Amino acid sequence: MDTLQEVLHAYSIRPFYIEKQTERLYMVQDYNQQYALKHSRLTEETIVMWEQVYKLAYEEYLFPILPVYLTKQGKLYEKKGELIYYVTPWKESRETELDQSTIDKIFQSFGLIHMKTKRRHLVEIQQFKQAFQQYKQHCLTLQQQLLTFVEEYEQHRFMSPFELLVCTQFKDVNYSLNETIRRIDQLLDEQEETWYYSLCHKNIKTSHTLVDQGQLYFINWENAGFDYPVFDLVAFFQEETEHYDTPTIMLLRGFDKYMNENELTKKELYLLVIQLLDPQAYLSCVKNHKQANTSMLKQIIHLQHTFRRILFGLHLSAHVEKTYDTIDLDDLDDLDDLDETD
């Protein structure tokens, strides 16, 4: 506790009450207001980027980034030995409810951040194409491996619950692999070498958001960096779509709000879909089934989580096709089949 007192003294905060909230978060009360004191995971290597986040937030008026207080020396943090602390305003930390209004605010907010921090980034076309051609071949290999597993399971007189689930999900997963390959081909047709990097949170989830008096804030920027903005979208979607009650329609509407703030190019949309349809986690679960040290129930739960993410990727791909791209008539039957499976 003496260390915390010393840290707070650097901010001219004289607390009369400190309450531990989590292993790394403290609520601090002085005679005027409440503060959040964070024992961070920042290091000498990551703190430079973290400081840049708040510099950009100040320069670009990025209100969704919860501000940090300055020490008496004008620093954004206080270091004690190897430990790095920082202080923010205290906001009541209740779990963010994923209703349509909140989802819209989340997408609008990081769409705004991505748009205001956008930087031009050139890629070497041949290296880029080679990487995705290799990934396409990898997906074709995974597709054949999945078929082999299903054919093997169907030879069993009695299938285990896990094997039965894989066979039941095969049509949709196989369709997702075909869709991935189609989207890779579309991406490879794009010859433009100009892409864009934006400031990315790199760990966006509802537990890293706060809503206070109608304003939504993102917290915990310790992993932030400049990257393709679709990676933030992928991380958020994957976090929120593995559960049985995924609010698919609300998330798709939220994505439209994001596009209003930071309109993605076609190639960025293709990359987003490809990332969301990534089959590796699902196939790894199937491959490791017999050697797994976990129970059948845990394996089934993990398989369901990865499958739901893939299903959402298919829904987003169809939404992108309908709303932001032209649709091929040959694909209509497959999209109708997908709707019938939901």
Q: Looking at 48, 69, 89, which one is the last position of a domain?
A: 89
Instruction: Specify whether the backbone of 61 is left (phi greater than 0), alpha (psi in -120 to 50) or beta.
Output: left
pLDDT at res. 192:
84
Q: Looking at 64, 89, 114, which one is the last position of a domain?
A: 89
pLDDT at res. 329:
39
- Per-residue pLDDT of 154-180, as tens digits, reads 999 899 999 999 999 999 999 999 999
Range of the domain at 51: 2-89
188 and 53, same structural domain?
Answer: no
80 and 128, same structural domain?
Answer: no
d(CA 203, CA 141): 30
Contact between 147 and 154 under an 8 Å Cβ cutoff? The reply is no
d(CA 87, CA 260): 33
pLDDT-derived band at 290 (thresholds 50, 70, 90) equals confident
66 and 105, same structural domain?
Answer: no
pLDDT at res. 154:
95
pLDDT at 293 over 90: no
pLDDT at res. 249:
97
21 and 154, same structural domain?
Answer: no
Q: Is residue 95 part of a domain?
A: no
With a pLDDT cut of 70, the percent of the chain lying above it is 94
Kindly report the average pLDDT of the chain as a whole number: 93
Contact between 176 and 277 under an 8 Å Cβ cutoff? The reply is yes
DSSP H or E segment with residue 102? helix 100-116
Name the CA dihedral angle for 115, 118, 121, 126, rounded to a multiple of 10 degrees: -10
83 and 165, same structural domain?
Answer: no
* CATH number of the domain bearing residue 287: 3.90.1200.10
296 and 149, same structural domain?
Answer: yes
Q: What is the mean pLDDT of residues 185-194?
A: 91
Query: Nearest to residue 33, comparing CAs of 93, 90, 92, 94?
Result: 90
- Decide: pTM greater than 0.85: yes
Q: Is residue 275 part of a domain?
A: yes
- Per-residue pLDDT of 74-108, as tens digits, reads 999 999 999 999 999 998 755 567 899 999 999 99
DSSP H or E segment with residue 215? strand 215-218
320 and 274, same structural domain?
Answer: yes
* CATH number of the domain bearing residue 9: 3.30.200.20
pLDDT at res. 330:
45
Q: Is residue 124 part of a domain?
A: yes
Q: Looking at 62, 89, 116, which one is the last position of a domain?
A: 89
pLDDT at res. 129:
95
- Per-residue pLDDT of 35-51, as tens digits, reads 999 999 999 999 999 99
DSSP 94: P
118 and 68, same structural domain?
Answer: no
pLDDT at 68 over 80: yes
d(CA 147, CA 232): 32
Q: Is residue 78 part of a domain?
A: yes
d(CA 336, CA 339): 5
- At 230, the amino acid letter reads V
58 and 112, same structural domain?
Answer: no
Q: Is residue 298 part of a domain?
A: yes
- Domains contained in the chain, number: 2
